[in-house]
Structure 1
Amino acid sequence: MKTLHSEKFHLRIPFSENISQFVDPDLCTFQLFPPPVPQFIEQEVERLYENVYCTVARMRVYGFDGDAYTFISKYKGNIADIFIFRIRGATASVLNQQITIPECRIRYFVDTILSLFLRVKVVSFHAIDVEINNTWRLFNKWEAIHENIVALPASRADFDERLSSSFRNSIRSSSRKLHADFPSFTIRFYSGLEISEKDTRAIIALTAQRMATKGKSSYLKEADIERIMRVLRLYGMLCVATIDDKICGGNIWYAVGKRHTMHIISHDPCYDRYALGNYLNYETFIYCIEQSGKECWLMGGNDAHKAKFGAIPFNLYSYRFYRSPRNIIRYFFDNFMVSTISLWTKVFYKTAALVRGLLR
């Protein structure tokens, strides 16, 4: 898609209560819907991005869509992008995240929004995959999310072939020992409305238990758990491992289209010697393959270990684009804040690790 230059939009574009549309000579069109997000957008966003973190339903769970505009760009009549964004003060913040966008389409959106909304001075994106090579506009960029992504093959045999022989044998050994020592050991998968709140809370409780053994408190509050349950009923995939009908481990995932996203993995520390976490992960990957999944996102951290399953590290970046060089003060202030927060975060974690070491 060819970039639309901002000078084309220095004019009044009609904004009715229905739809505003503008056509450029290269068959690029856009539609802009005022709040709230139109209902028909839900399926289109899921089809286009296959990512739970930019679904309209999840935005509603977290209360984000009531005051959000919807921008649809089309190329030759086909939807190319859907951006859902809010305007707060002088900033337009895009709510879609963890998606890949070509640079030309970022420019198309930013230039159009800055032309339509004269009060907007900054357009902000969180955790996206785009490489800006043309400094057509002043911007800030910083790492937002570190991910590990597994591209899934077509079959269990292909997945097993990908694993190193030692790691594959280790997983098989874990399976044999678990079933030999605990004949009632079972792994089950549930999705959507099949998911039990009791099971979900039990798996989350295991996470809190595991963090407690490391001297950390749980980061999930009751409000967080209630939101997780609401999203699980829409996009959830729950792996539940039991021994004598008692939950000993499990995974909480989301699935949109052919992309599966891990949220929580936990197991009872009593079963560490069986490498239960590895076995649960392995069985979850196989389940995703059987569901015709193409990709699993495993979150950041433990890169070397996740690489044993074929995960590739991947960074997503946040961007803030500024209307003009006259916003230079805001640019430097944002840059300073990002650097300061990043520095203090590193200091905090290093200090916490040192204190835990001294208390052992």
Structure 2
Amino acid sequence: MSVEQVQPIDKSPNNTVSVQVKPGSELSIQCYDNDVPAFIGPALERLYGNLFSSLEYYRAFGGADNASTYVVRDGKNIVCAWLFQKHRNTVRVVNEGLRVDQDDLLRFAGYVFGRYPGINVISFHAVRPNMASLPMPCQRFNCLEDMVLTLPGSPESYLASLGRSTRSYIHRYMNKLKRELPAFEFRVFDAGEIEEAQIRHVISLNRLRMASKGKEAINDEDITRRIVQLSHERGMLGVILIDGRICAGSINYRVGANYFLETLAHDPAWDDYRLGTLCCYLTICECIRRGGGEYHFLWGQDEYKTRLLGVQRDLDDIVVYRSWLHMVLYGKLVMQHATHAAVRRARVWVRRTRRSDSFGGRLVARVWRLVRGAGAVKS
């Protein structure tokens, strides 16, 4: 698909602009300026099934203030729905985590550059580009990774698919837990059942666990309130109870058929029972029973994620420029993105190297610990 600037053919009084993509085509575009229609929530869930492309997430954590809505229909069916914000000369696509096909991106770029003469840059954050390259000036670079487990048909199939050492690990500590703590219980609470005190307790366990490692948890009071709000709309809470007390928990959200891990924590007093990994495993089994499609561990390559079969899914930033001339004119922005890309590549290299069982890896790991201990970097 070539880049074509699409001009609006009709503007209704309610700030909605409609266009036909091509004469005779079933595809049509509607744009709702500074408005997110009520039908967009279910459409986003059906199309993307991603937490970071859901209205509930935007309501809880922000990021979609004064957003406009871009909708593509094939006949009557919505096939693309993106929220975006305009700021000076830039359009920022709000949706994250979704797959972006080349045709969809080029169609959107043609529409935006055709309709808004003052917009010269379009940016996407943390998306999955389904394209080798674009026939227009752009930058694309990795920014995050999402560790994703494609859920099998049954908990039994999942257990069988785990590595031998992981199966042995789960059997050993589950048996230890049942044998030594027969009052142990795993329970699941859905959005309408979750109590704020439960969420706060799991978050407090996370703070306690981080403190035991000499680290500081990032969930302050503001973030905690947002997690509580989103949990009441999209939450699924799995907890391990011992004598009726929460000793481990996983805070998750469901969007479509997919689940997203917010926080996994356990009381360090129960380290000998590996409650954190067991709680995550039991939560995943519950997601499978509910017919889940994917379980997203999200960012960070923690060992338990790969042990439980999380597979890295790279997420990229994309920046599209109106023309090569505009890319030159926005040279400072281009350099900022190039710097971010280089820093990201360096961090990924350091992380990969310091985990390798080699002299170089051990040396990098030692230097990294010294640098972090001096407070020079944050990972």
Measured after TM superposition, the shift of residue 343 of structure 1 is: 6.0
Query: Separation in 2 of the partners of 1:93 and 1:143?
Result: 17
Measured after TM superposition, the shift of residue 197 of structure 1 is: 0.8
Aligned residue type for 2:283? T
Report the 3-state secondary structure (helix = DSSP H, G, I; strand = E; otherwise coil) of the residue aligned with 1:255. strand
Query: Separation in 1 of the partners of 2:342 and 2:113?
Result: 32
Change in CA separation of 1:341 and 1:212 when aligned onto 2, cut-off 3 Å: farther
Measured after TM superposition, the shift of residue 339 of structure 1 is: 4.3
Select 2:4's aligned residue among 3, 6, 10.
Answer: 6
Does 2:30 correspond to 1:17? no
Alignment of 1:1-360 (within 5 A): 3=1, 5-7=3-5, 9=6, 11=7, 13-18=9-14, 19-23=16-20, 24-25=22-23, 26-302=25-301, 304-329=303-328, 331-341=330-340, 353-354=369-370
Measured after TM superposition, the shift of residue 305 of structure 1 is: 3.8
* CA offsets 1:88-147 (integer angstroms, 9 cap, x no match): 111111111101121111111111111111111111111111143343211111212211
Report the 3-state secondary structure (helix = DSSP H, G, I; strand = E; otherwise coil) of the residue aligned with 2:316. strand
Identity of aligned residues (%): 27
Report the 3-state secondary structure (helix = DSSP H, G, I; strand = E; otherwise coil) of the residue aligned with 2:100. coil
Change in CA separation of 1:137 and 1:270 when aligned onto 2, cut-off 3 Å: same
Structure 1 range deviating more: 190-199 or 15-24:
15-24
Aligned residue type for 1:20? V
Aligned residue type for 1:353? R
TM-score (norm 1): 0.91
Query: Separation in 2 of the partners of 1:322 and 1:149?
Result: 31
Contact 1:146 1:300 in 2 (8 A): yes
Structure 1 range deviating more: 261-270 or 134-143:
134-143
Report the 3-state secondary structure (helix = DSSP H, G, I; strand = E; otherwise coil) of the residue aligned with 1:129. strand
Report the 3-state secondary structure (helix = DSSP H, G, I; strand = E; otherwise coil) of the residue aligned with 2:97. coil
Unaligned runs of 5+ in 1: none
Q: CA RMSD in A?
A: 2.4
Change in CA separation of 1:97 and 1:330 when aligned onto 2, cut-off 3 Å: farther
Query: Separation in 2 of the partners of 1:211 and 1:312?
Result: 25
Query: Separation in 2 of the partners of 1:329 and 1:358?
Result: 39
In the comparison of the two structures, how many residue pairs are matched?
355
Query: Separation in 1 of the partners of 2:118 and 2:161?
Result: 53
Report the 3-state secondary structure (helix = DSSP H, G, I; strand = E; otherwise coil) of the residue aligned with 1:277. helix
Measured after TM superposition, the shift of residue 286 of structure 1 is: 0.6
Change in CA separation of 1:12 and 1:259 when aligned onto 2, cut-off 3 Å: closer
Runs of 4+ in 1 over 4 A off after TM superposition: 341-352, 355-359
Query: Separation in 2 of the partners of 1:170 and 1:240?
Result: 20
Aligned residue type for 2:18? Q
Report the 3-state secondary structure (helix = DSSP H, G, I; strand = E; otherwise coil) of the residue aligned with 1:220. coil
Measured after TM superposition, the shift of residue 48 of structure 1 is: 1.2
Query: Separation in 1 of the partners of 2:301 and 2:270?
Result: 20
Unaligned runs of 5+ in 2: 352-364
Query: Separation in 2 of the partners of 1:229 and 1:266?
Result: 16
Structure 1 range deviating more: 116-125 or 207-216:
207-216
Aligned residue type for 1:243? I
Contact 1:303 1:313 in 2 (8 A): no
Query: Separation in 2 of the partners of 1:62 and 1:264?
Result: 16
Change in CA separation of 1:270 and 1:352 when aligned onto 2, cut-off 3 Å: farther
Report the 3-state secondary structure (helix = DSSP H, G, I; strand = E; otherwise coil) of the residue aligned with 2:96. coil
